[in-house]
């Protein structure tokens, strides 16, 4: 399942502040991945709301 902005929508009171999510415990089923600059997918443990 894709993690969309609708699932993790958060708002800060400061303009320009970026929200970073950190995985404390890996998922039991599947993994969290994102494409890197070479177009390959890699596992991640942190991501921002804009990603």
Structure tokens at 32: 């969290």
User: pLDDT class for 43, splitting at 50, 70, 90?
Assistant: very high
pTM: 0.63
- Give the Cα separation of 44 and 32 in Å (integer): 6
Q: What is the pLDDT of residue 30?
A: 87
Length of the chain: 51
Q: Report pLDDT digits (tens) over 6-38.
A: 777 777 777 767 888 899 998 888 888 989 999
The answer to whether residue 45 scores a pLDDT higher than 80 is yes
Contact 43/14 with Cβ under 8 angstroms?
no
């Amino acid at each position: 399942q894709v993690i969309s902005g609708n699932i993790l929508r958060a708002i800060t009171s400061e303009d320009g502040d970026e929200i970073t999510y950190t995985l404390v415990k890996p998922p039991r089923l599947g993994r969290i991945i994102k494409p890197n600059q070479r177009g390959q997918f890699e596992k991640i443990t942190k991501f921002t709301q804009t990603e």
